[in-house]
Amino acid sequence: MVQVRAHQPINDDGSINLEAWLDHVTRVDPALDRQALHEACEFARDLEQQANTTEHHWSEGASTFRAGLDIAEILADLKLDQDSLVAAIIYRGVREGKITLAAVHQRFGPVVAKLIEGVLRMAAISASINPRESVVVGSQTQVENLRKMLVAMVDDVRVALIKLAERTCAIRAVKEADEEKRQRVAREVFDIYAPLAHRLGIGHIKWELEDLSFRYLEPGQYRQIAKLLHERRLDREQYI
């Protein structure tokens, strides 16, 4: 089964150790501009602190600032460029109405604003899938059409990669959500985004999306498979 990455560096007071996080992502990709990332992070953190309410949570108590760092970290591993990481860091703030695209354009430039706009369009299209339907029971044509629409509408592959990273973070975080939300996110990820990751050739993200979504969609089968894999690993260790 897939192992989820380590947690973000945390200060003693429970806040994100931003300097340590920046150290990490700039080690992963030294071409990144640390100062520009720092500015985007501070901006996203200020937005969250200024907001009184948040309408769209993955789970209770979720932080849009931390979510942005999670998304950006995945993109850094994929060696995406500076604009992509900045867009990832502030995307949730735009989605939740804490800042407008016009303000993003003015502060961070047209490229970042266009990337976020593209991710928002992808989210709107994928939201049209009925989460209660399954590919197995007859919605395969609908789901395949949605996949084609998503691919056709993306004129910049960075948009698709940001959305894949965002959904990866969503399926990781949905463990603490209620059952309805777990099912909804898992169905969307399994039917739409795992195949999209496969189509884009990002194998490790495809496997993680399939693994985590299958855990919620078919928990009994998932536990059985996990048990068999564990037993086989023990057998190999004993043989060695």
pLDDT by position in tens, the chain (length 240): 444 454 578 787 778 899 999 999 999 999 999 999 999 999 999 988 887 444 544 444 568 899 999 999 999 999 999 999 999 999 999 998 889 999 999 999 999 999 999 999 988 887 766 555 444 434 677 777 777 777 777 889 999 999 999 999 999 989 888 899 899 999 999 989 999 999 899 999 999 999 999 999 987 777 777 666 655 655 565 555
Please give the pLDDT value at position 2.
46
What are the pLDDT digits (tens) for 96-135?
888 999 999 999 999 999 999 999 998 888 776 655 544 4
> 18-239 maps to which CATH number?
1.10.3210.10
What is the DSSP annotation of the chain?
-PPPPPPPPB-TTSSB-HHHHHHHHHHH-TTS-HHHHHHHHHHHHHHHHH-S--S--SSTT--HHHHHHHHHHHHHHTT--HHHHHHHHHHHHHHTTSS-HHHHHHHH-HHHHHHHHHHHHHHHHHTTS-TT--GGGTTHHHHHHHHHHHHHH-SSHHHHHHHHHHHHHHHHHGGGS-HHHHHHHHHHIIIIIHHHHHHTT-HHHHHHHHHHHHHHHSHHHHHHHHHHHHHHHHHHHHH-
Task: Please give the Cα distance from 145 to 140 (Å, whole number).
Answer: 9
Beta bridge partners of 10: 16
User: What are the sequence ranges of the domains in the chain?
Assistant: 18-239
